[in-house]
Structure 1
Amino acid sequence: MTPFLRPPALPADDLLRLLREWCPEAEIARAVTGTGVDIVGARVPMERVRDVWEIGRRRHGETGWWPYVTSASPGGEAAYQDEWGCDTAEWERSVAEVVLQDHDARAASVVVSSFRWSTKSLPFDDEDFLGWRDDHDPDRLAPLLGPAVVGPMLGVPRWATDHGESRAGMRWVNFVAARGGYELPVLLPGLYANPNWFGHGSRCLTPLDDAALLRRWQEQWGAQLFFAAGPYLELVVDRPPLDPRGAAQAATELFAYCGDTVQDAVRAGNGMARSTMWSLWWD
């Protein structure tokens, strides 16, 4: 492991032994990226991925390893990261900055940049402008949403259990030493989507933008990184917002972050934002 990375509470070899206890029939593997990030994983049937992920999440405080479900083995993930490549100095700076950055302010800047890009790059008239402003302003969006609901909608994974993506009906539950799932886009920059085309046109988001939004969502609504592969991302949300203002806030941020999936902020505010699963996909 690269010396400046935060060491986990549990050494990788001990985690391997734990995984063999949790998943005695599973294939277990370990790999290290060229930047020194350790990845440990277990290949399990799709019907077990949520259980194994939940165990890993519950044990995160004592292990220091964050679990995520994906289609790639640790070796495949490491090879992809190395193939993708990165500027080592820039990567080290990002790894250090992800802990110190003002994630709320950076998340807000993503929403602002989305609004500016939308109104600058697309042809619109005054009515279009007002519509875009409503989509990006939670105070304007909230009155357009339905009333508060008693409980969250039960979300169902779309990508983690998609048999079309895994004909053998298997997934990997990989573990990376991290303070939380929000650090993974920085530790593994090619984890999902693609840092060079992530966004619209010239509006590219960086792994630090990803980390800021994921950390904000984790703290605000208990949204935890669950599945990540290619252009797909899923979050398990423990405390989704149930009132119109909270749902509007979540919807505007989701809309700004992933317009490919969240194309209608009102619909998202009444639906995904109040759900226990957020499934995002970039085209």
Structure 2
Amino acid sequence: MTSEPLPPDLRALFADPADAAGRSLSVPLPPGRAVSSAEEDGDRPAFWLSDAPAPEGLWSRLRAEHARSGLWPLLLDALDDNDPEYRPWGSGEVTPGGMSDPAAHDPAALLAAWWTDHTDNPDPETAPYGRAWPGLAPTPATGGDPDRIADGLAAHLLADHRSMRLGLVAADRGADALAVAGWFGPANYTDDTAEIAAVLRGWEDRFGARVVGVGFATLLLSVAAPPTTHDQALAVAAEHFAFCPDNVWQGVTPLSAYAERLVGDHSWAFWWD
């Protein structure tokens, strides 16, 4: 299929009009609209949202065109599927202007600070680690194809949640899409989603992670190189706890039990209360 220049509603997503001018897309999109923040003033839309649930296979086709289009696809879930506003996406409950640049943050420093903020010494939930940050998990030596695994997770997610809509964000990488769109799902944890994006950048590089699904306060990643042993998984679990302690506090506890679920798992899910 011939690639066509981006239509005006997609060009409007780019901060730099010159960058948008050279972009193209060969994948036909379903009906949708550009969504601007209802919380902030400004002419630039935060993202594009489909009017109806995402068609099967479209996420992977758009992901494959990201380098040419500059648009990262997201599968977006609503707080309540029966809500006609499809919050927070359809209602524009996002704050892109309030987010900093993910590149301005050191993911290792963020995780270390969050770990210290959310652990006590001793803390049975985070044993065998104490209050001192244990450091980043080792980078796996091998892994699968990040794109293939991301496509597979997107297909599985849509099969289980057929109501999810398609979002498009003008971002250089999936991690940055969360900050560019102004998503504030972890608002009770950090009011700057660029900090979340900075950690995700590191996971993209180290574990072949890809941002696939986003809800009101939930996040789903595909993972090409998950831990393969319990010791490796325990180190990754420490990063997860620092990143999203609710996964352990209100999910699987203690940390050692949480780690068991990470061994060989090609998807990581997070939820902030």
Q: Give the TM-score normalised by structure 2.
A: 0.68
- Asked if 1:193 is matched to 2:193, the reply is no
Residues 24-68 of structure 1: CA distance to partner in whole angstroms, max 9, x if unpaired?
Answer: xxx4212142441353344665782xx322222111111111000
Q: 2:47 — aligned with what?
A: 39
1:29 aligns with one of 26, 29, 32 = 32
Q: 1:220 — aligned with what?
A: 206
Aligned Cα root-mean-square deviation (Å): 4.2
Report the residue type matching 2:70 in the other structure. Answer: G
Q: 2:197 — aligned with what?
A: 211
Could you tell me how far apart the structure 1 residues matched to 2:94 and 2:109 are?
Answer: 27
Q: 2:134 — aligned with what?
A: 137
Q: 1:108 — aligned with what?
A: 108
Report the residue type matching 2:177 in the other structure. Answer: L
Unaligned 5+ residue runs, structure 2? 1-11, 79-83
Residues 58-114 of structure 1: CA distance to partner in whole angstroms, max 9, x if unpaired?
Answer: 111111110000135999656544x5557x4x54xx1xx32x335xxx222233223
The alpha-carbon deviation at position 244 of structure 1 amounts to 5.2
SS in 2 for 1:18: coil
Unaligned 5+ residue runs, structure 1? 21-26, 143-147
- Asked if 1:239 is matched to 2:225, the reply is yes
Report the residue type matching 1:57 in the other structure. Answer: R
The alpha-carbon deviation at position 257 of structure 1 amounts to 0.9
1:172 aligns with one of 159, 165, 172 = 165
1:18 aligns with one of 8, 24, 27 = 27
Greater RCO (Cα-Cα under 8 Å, separation 6 or more): 1
The alpha-carbon deviation at position 281 of structure 1 amounts to 1.4
Cα 1:112/1:138, change in 2 over 3 Å: closer
Residues 257-279 of structure 1: CA distance to partner in whole angstroms, max 9, x if unpaired?
Answer: 11212343323333225311111
- Asked if 1:63 is matched to 2:80, the reply is no
Cα 1:238/1:150, change in 2 over 3 Å: closer
Report the residue type matching 2:264 in the other structure. Answer: R
Report the residue type matching 1:68 in the other structure. Answer: L
Q: Percent identity?
A: 21
Residues 107-129 of structure 1: CA distance to partner in whole angstroms, max 9, x if unpaired?
Answer: 22233223322345xxx558788
SS in 2 for 1:267: helix
1:270 aligns with one of 254, 260, 267 = 260
SS in 2 for 1:234: strand
Residues 204-234 of structure 1: CA distance to partner in whole angstroms, max 9, x if unpaired?
Answer: 3621210111101111111111000111110
Could you tell me how far apart the structure 2 residues matched to 1:3 and 1:149 are?
Answer: 35
SS in 2 for 1:174: strand
**Bigger fraction of residues in helix:** 1
Q: Give the TM-score normalised by structure 1.
A: 0.66
Could you tell me how far apart the structure 1 residues matched to 2:14 and 2:61 are?
Answer: 28
